[in-house]
Amino acid sequence: MSLRIVVCVKYVPDATGDRHFAEDHTTDRDAVDGLLSELDEYAVEQALQIKEANDDVEITVLTMGGDDAKDALRKALSMGADKAAHVNDEALHGTDVMGTSLVLAKAVEQIGYDLVLCGMSSTDGVMGVLPALLAERLGVPQVTLLSEVSVADGTVNGRRDGDTASQRLSAALPAVASVTDQSGEARYPSFKGIMAAKKKPVLALDLSDLGIDPADVGLAGAWSAVDEVAERPARTAGTVVKDEGEGGRQLAAFLAERRFV
Amino acid sequence: MGEVLVLVDHVDGAVRKPTLELLTLARRIGEPVAVHLGPGADTAAATLGEYGASTVHAADAPEFADYLVVPQVDALEQVAKAVNPVAVLLPSSGEAKEVAARLALRLGSGLITDAVDLEAGAEGPVATQSVFAAGFTVRSRVSRGTPVITVKPNSATPEPAPVSATVQPLKVLFGSAATGTKIVSRTPREDTGRPELTEAAIVVSGGRGVNGAENFAVIEALADELGAAVGASRAAVDAGWYPHTNQVGQTGKTVSPQLYIAAGISGAIQHRAGMQTSKTIVAVNKDAEAPIFDLVDYGVVGDLFQVLPQLTDEVKARKG
Ligand SMILES: Cc1cc2nc3c(=O)[nH]c(=O)nc-3n(C[C@H](O)[C@H](O)[C@H](O)COP(=O)(O)OP(=O)(O)OC[C@H]3O[C@@H](n4cnc5c(N)ncnc54)[C@H](O)[C@@H]3O)c2cc1C
Ligand SMILES: Nc1ncnc2c1ncn2[C@@H]1O[C@H](COP(=O)(O)O)[C@@H](O)[C@H]1O
User: Would the pLDDT of A1 be above 80?
Assistant: no
pLDDT in tens, B40-58: 999 999 999 999 999 999 9
Cβ contact A15–B133 (<8 Å):
yes
pLDDT in tens, B94-125: 999 999 999 999 999 999 999 999 999 999 99
**Which residues have any ligand 1 atom within 6 Å of their CB?**
A 38-39, 123, 181; B 207-209, 233-236, 247-252, 264-266, 268, 270-271, 274, 284-287, 290, 303-305
Q: How many Cβ atoms from other residues are within 10 Å of residue B48's Cβ?
A: 29
Q: Name the CA dihedral angle for B253, B257, B259, B260, rounded to a multiple of 10 degrees.
A: 10
Assigned domain for A171 exists: yes
CA of B167 to the centre of ligand 1 (A): 48
In B, residues 180-239, which contact A (CB 8 Å cutoff)?
Answer: 180-189, 202, 226, 234
Query: Number of C-alpha atoms within 13 angstroms, CB side, residue A188?
Result: 2
Cβ contact B300–A230 (<8 Å):
no
In sequence order, what are the beta bridge partners of A230? B137
In sequence order, what are the beta bridge partners of B131? B136
What percent of chain B is modeled with pLDDT above 70?
100
In chain B, which residue's Cα lies nearest the Cα of A127? B113
CA of B271 to the centre of ligand 2 (A): 21
Higher pLDDT, B260 or B132: B260
Report the candidate in A15, A167, A229 with the shortest Cα–Cα distance to residue B250.
A15
Assigned domain for A35 exists: yes
Domain count, chain A: 1
Mean pLDDT of B194-210: 96
Alpha carbon of B302 to those of B43, B216, B287, B299: distances in Å? 50, 17, 8, 9
Q: Is A180 in the pocket of ligand 2 (CB under 6 A)?
A: no
The residue ranges of every structural domain in chain B are: 3-179, 197-319
Report the candidate in B95, B89, B82 with the shortest Cα–Cα distance to residue B117.
B89
Residue A75: which CATH number? 3.40.50.620
Q: pTM here? A: 0.95
DSSP letters spanning A76-143? HHHHT-SEEEEE--GGGTT--HHHHHHHHHHHHHHH--SEEEEESS-TTT----HHHHHHHHHTS-EE
Residues B223 and B226: their CA atoms lie apart, in Å, by 5
Query: Number of C-alpha atoms within 13 angstroms, CB side, residue B123?
Result: 12
User: Would the pLDDT of B1 be above 80?
Assistant: no
Would you say the CATH fold of B197-319 matches that of B3-179?
A: yes
Residues A13 and A20: their CA atoms lie apart, in Å, by 10
DSSP letters spanning A165-186? EEEEEEEESSEEEEE-TTS-PP
pLDDT in tens, B127-166: 999 998 888 999 999 999 999 999 999 999 999 999 999 9
Tell me whether residue B208 is annotated as binding: yes
* Residue A37 structural domain: 3-216
Element (H, E) at A44: helix A38-53
Q: Is B304 on the interface with A (CB under 8 A)?
A: no
Of ligand 1's listed atoms, the one at least distance from the Cα of B251 is: 8
Assigned domain for A51 exists: yes
pLDDT of residue A126: 84
Contacts of B228 (CB under 8 A, 6+ apart): B194, B195, B200, B201, B202, B203, B204, B222, B259, B261
Residues B116 and A185: their CA atoms lie apart, in Å, by 32
Cβ contact B97–A127 (<8 Å):
yes
The C-alpha of B276 sits at a distance from chain A's nearest C-alpha, in angstroms, of 9
Residues of A in contact with B308 (CB under 8 A): 248
The C-alpha of A195 sits at a distance from chain B's nearest C-alpha, in angstroms, of 32
Assigned domain for A96 exists: yes
Q: Is B237 helix (H, G, I), strand (E, B) or coil?
A: helix
Amino acid at A185: E
pLDDT of residue B319: 87
DSSP label of B109? -
Mean pLDDT of A84-106: 97
Confirm or reject CATH 3.40.1160.10 for domain B3-179, answering yes or no. no
pLDDT of residue A20: 85
Mean pLDDT of A217-234: 92
Tell me whether residue B140 is annotated as binding: no
pLDDT in tens, A180-193: 999 999 999 999 99
Q: Among positive and negative, which fits the CA dihedral B256, B258, B263, B269?
A: positive
| Among the ranges given (A227-236, B6-15, B302-311), the one the predictor scored with the smallest mean pLDDT | A227-236
User: Would the pLDDT of B189 be above 90?
Assistant: no
pLDDT in tens, B206-257: 999 999 999 999 999 999 999 999 999 999 999 999 999 999 999 999 999 9
The answer to whether A237 touches B295, Cβ cutoff 8 Å, is no
Residues B304 and A14: their CA atoms lie apart, in Å, by 32
Amino acid at B168: Q
Amino acid at A59: I
Of ligand 2's listed atoms, the one at least distance from the Cα of A134 is: 12
pLDDT in tens, A122-177: 988 889 999 999 999 999 999 999 999 999 999 999 999 988 899 999 999 999 99
Q: Is A102 in the pocket of ligand 2 (CB under 6 A)?
A: no
Assigned domain for A222 exists: no
Radius of gyration of chain B from its Cα atoms, rounded to whole angstroms: 21
Average pLDDT taken over every residue of chain B:
96
Give the fold, CATH level 3, of B197-319.
Rossmann fold (3.40.50)
B94-107 vs A130-138: helix crossing angle, rounded to 10: 40
User: Would the pLDDT of B284 be above 70?
Assistant: yes
